[in-house]
Amino acid sequence: MTMLHRSARVPLLRLIGLSGIGLQSIGSVALLFAAGVACAAPATPSARFALPAPAARYTIEPAAVDASAELRADVGRPKSLPLRYAVERQAGVVRMRPHVAAAGGEWRDLAGGMAVWRIPVHVAGAMSLDFTFSRFFLPPGAQLFVDADGETLGPYGAADNPRSRRFATPLVRGNRAQIEVLLPQAMKPFLDLELESVFAGYRDLLVAKSVANPQNGSGTCNIDTICSQGDAWRSEINAVAVLASRGSYCSGQLVNNTAGDRDPLLLTAHHCFSSTDAGDSLVVYWKYESPTCRVVGSADNGSPVPSASAIAQTGGASLLATQTNADVTLFRLHAPPPAVVNPYYVGWDRTEAAFSGGVVMHHPEADAKRISFAAGAVVIDDTDYGQDVAPGLNHWRVDHYDQGTTEPGSSGSALLDLAHHVRGVLSGGAADCETPAGDDFYGRLSSAWQGDGTRATRLSDWLDPKGGSATVLDGIGSCSAPSVSLALSPSVATIGDRITISAVATGGSGGYSYAFDVDDDGVVDSTDPTQASIPAVYSGSYQGNVSIRVTDSSGCSATASQALIVQAPAIGLASGIALPAPVTLCGSTDGSIDPGQRWRQQVVLMNYGDTASQPGYAIFAQDPGTLGQSLLTLETPAVALPALAPGATTTVALDYAIDTATTCGARFRINLLGATDATGFQPPGNAGQFGFVGVAQAAPVGVVDRVVETTCAPVTNCPAQISKLRLDPGAYYDPLRPGTGMTQITLPQGNADPLFFGLWFAGDAARLPTWYQLQAALHGNQVNSPLFQTHQTQPPTWPQKPVSIGAAQVTLVDADKFVFSWNFPGSYGGALYVPVTGVASSIRIWNNTTESGWGIYDQLAQVAGPGAPPLIASLVYLYDGNGVPRWVQGNNPSYTDGATQDVAFVRPTCPGCIWLDSKAGQRSIGTMVYDSSSGTAKISTNITFPAPIPGTWVRSQLPLNALYLSQ
């Protein structure tokens, strides 16, 4: 008995471009119309401008394809792998990226201020071509086409820029194609493309459907979904699609979740696709179905169905969870399916009771969609059949089929019970038209529910986001979504500019809520769902998309996306210029670095950015991983910088002193942390260190990396020459991006360096509260401290202890401002901090000794003059009754002991995040009262937090401990 593993392919789909009457663009979707519908393909730039073909030298020609050899290789290919349709060919160095020299392709400037970039591709022996870009960013106004002998893909525009920055095209027929990009000449520096691979088809997918018999389609025993047998399953049929990625195919389907929000979750088999790369390169083909019901057993039923009616969705998907024992993978599409698909999100049942009457809709041999009906009871089978039969261990077993069958290409399709609920996905088996008694095995949803106990291996987090332990869920259909457009003003900006992001929604059920993603990370950034327009200030260079999801009162959503470019300076070490030898400022002049000496290092800095910097400071710090901080003093940790045009350089002097107690042979390193000016803080930059989006995640750049002389000369004593600064205690913040800040105090330590203690009030990427702590000596004019985090997302236990997660520096600039820089996983950046208020004030810092891990900062400002009751402003970090961390603000304009403070709920800015209005979404949530009449300070609170994460913090007469009280 032959055991067939359920692998997949898809027929070649002829894509008609998105212009002309009757054509439309829906995000990253290309609509394909049935044969006989008259519509003109869009004119490529070559055709529109009547351009001659590029010179032969521009053509890339990867290695030829031997179709016969590839087909023979497939015969012995392990059946645990999806069936191939193409072989990968590296495109070589084909790159069009900002700050990187272009390689490959032809540029032409055109009339009207436009430009075109073209690159022909030829793979001898190929029957089809599709392309994978490892970097893909189209700036505003750009359009990309793929043309193959009149068969045109595109145009793809800025709205199609994928979040992953990887992009895969659908197929075009033949062995020659040309990629063309049309864009405004002013946008040429921002085009960012890197063609990674060409997938050269070795099967003519319109004809060849079987390894055994390349002239046949799927088997004649199959049943078209248009037939009457599919009438009871019309909704579920609309959920099923062909999935193609990196030269292989499988089946898959949309599934519902307990939020009922039509999240585009796509369920398939682990053995088909199980990697982030596969998701990034995923192309989904919808509505590939026979338009007529062909007679079972007829020759016509075994012929491939023309694919011109199919709909190809590009843009890829995020890998959410994958699990081997149940052979299940779950993706989230980066864009919702187009409305023309009439998508349906299938329900599910994760129980394990045996059932009868299983139904499966699938794409056998990647042919048109079919429907099959299982015979008898479907039972649990945990037998290890081996990879060539059915990957995984936890299956449902279908003994055989009453009607229809499955074939290679059906893998990943869902087995539904008669209640229309998914119970598992196809792993493999023996069934096909030649083996009507053959069985099949479906990986169980029940087994994948908890997976291997992690978010990346289980389905529960994604299919039950409400966490209600649902066991059964019905499906949900499409809805009448609103129409939404997104506008950016401007779409090309400079760091520090305030950008207005506006959405306009019409249609649907009205009552819209708005969720903006301003940094293209998939996390909602806006905090007030009623705001259709928000301001944003970017903290660094940015080249990516901004998107909006609008949801109407019925829960129906629509999305829109636009490209944004934010230019910024980037101050780094000038490449190609060797650092001069250091100069002794005090001590012996033999050229060796000895304890007790002072040195000066000349450093040449360059602006590698797109725009001029303003006068500011370069920030240096000792690397705490080398010499102890007290043994080296930076005399100039903040070095004044002039304004620098792009490409301009300046030379600065970095002075430092080596302490007499330094051990001979000790290594020390001084890093360039970045630069700050009136527009913000920039990490060290050069041509190879630019981040693609957001704040660059570059490590600090070493400027000085030396070893103290191993045989030290007699110690001299040249103390550091520095004017020590002292900060007033209190609250400081970045005035360009309010919503995060630091409260700090500096405590004398006798003859030793004073101790700096700072509490950094911030949030995470979702703008949910967290806080950080610094505690280290203020040495010279700089604090170089470990960075500790206190963040509890589960019901807290007391006391809590901060956890070290990175490093931070506080570099004093003068007596009332400092540069704060940080470096921890996921965030590297900084800001110039100034006092929150210049009014004379005192501060208090409180905690509860038995519940360490939450606390209060008070600032009492004498706004009405000495002797008057002060204005009190309190910032409280606490956990509500559900254990969720919260920031609240309390204030009273005339504070006396026992006076009530009004409390407001706040959502903070996060490190390195794009600034949004920190006051958006604030609301009054209750009161709090201090009482010290008994001699011990106590606090009472009556706070109720709003949806979507409700909770309470109701405490009475809770004792407080004064960590710090200023005079």
Q: Which residues are catalytic?
A: 271, 327, 411
Distances (CA, A) of 330 to 27, 567, 691: 21, 37, 29
C-alpha 346/C-alpha 243 separation (Å) is: 17
Q: What is the SS3 string spanning 612-649?
A: CCCCEEEEEEECCCCCCHHHEEECCCEEEECCCCCCCE
Q: What angle do CA 388, 393, 399 make, to 5 degrees?
A: 75
Cβ count near 844 (within 10 Å): 19
Rg (CA), the chain: 32
Strands 492-494 and 557-567, by their bridges, are: parallel
Please name every residue paired with 702 in a beta bridge, in sequence order, or none if there are none: 671
Question: What residues contact residue 95 under an 8 Å CB cut-off, 6+ apart?
Answer: 102, 103, 104, 135, 193, 194, 195
Considering only CA atoms, which of 462, 377, 393 is closest in space to residue 427? 393
Compute the Cα dihedral for 574, 578, 579, 583 and give only its sign: negative
Instruction: Quote the tokens at residue 799.
Output: 């006391």
* 769 upstream amide cis, omega within 30 of 0: no
- Tell me the C-alpha distance between 687 and 607, whole Å: 10
Cβ(700)–Cβ(685) under 8 Å? no
CA dist list (Å): 179 to 169, 599, 660: 11, 56, 65
Other CB atoms within 10 A of residue 214 CB: 13
CA 883 to chain centre: 27
- Residue 568 corresponds to which tokens in the numbers above? 């910024």
How many residues are there in the chain? Answer: 967
Asked if 701 and 685 touch (Cβ cutoff 8 Å), the reply is no
d(CA 218, CA 671) in angstroms, rounded, equals 64
Q: Are 449 and 379 in contact (CB under 8 A)?
A: no
* SS3 of residue 280 by DSSP: helix
Q: Name the helix (H) or strand (E) containing 100.
A: strand 100-103
Angle formed at CA 775 by CA 771 and CA 776, multiple of 5 degrees: 150
Answer yes or no: are the C-beta atoms of 788 and 776 closer than 8 Å.
Answer: no
Cβ(765)–Cβ(787) below 8 Å? no
CA distance 33 to 29: 13
Residue with tokens 């190929």: 126
Beta carbons within 10 angstroms of residue 365's beta carbon: 29
From its phi and psi, is residue 50 left (phi > 0), alpha (psi between -120 and 50) or beta? left
Taking alpha carbons only, the member of 726, 814, 824, 725 closest to residue 774 is 824
Work out the burial of residue 897: count CB atoms within 10 Å of its CB; fewer than 13 is exposed, 13-18 middle, 19 or more buried: exposed
CA angle 239, 243, 248 (to 5 degrees): 160
Listed residue (645, 719, 703) closest to 671, CA to CA? 703
Cβ atoms of 284 and 13 within 8 Å: the answer is no
DSSP 3-state percent helix, strand, coil across the chain (nearest 5): 5, 45, 50
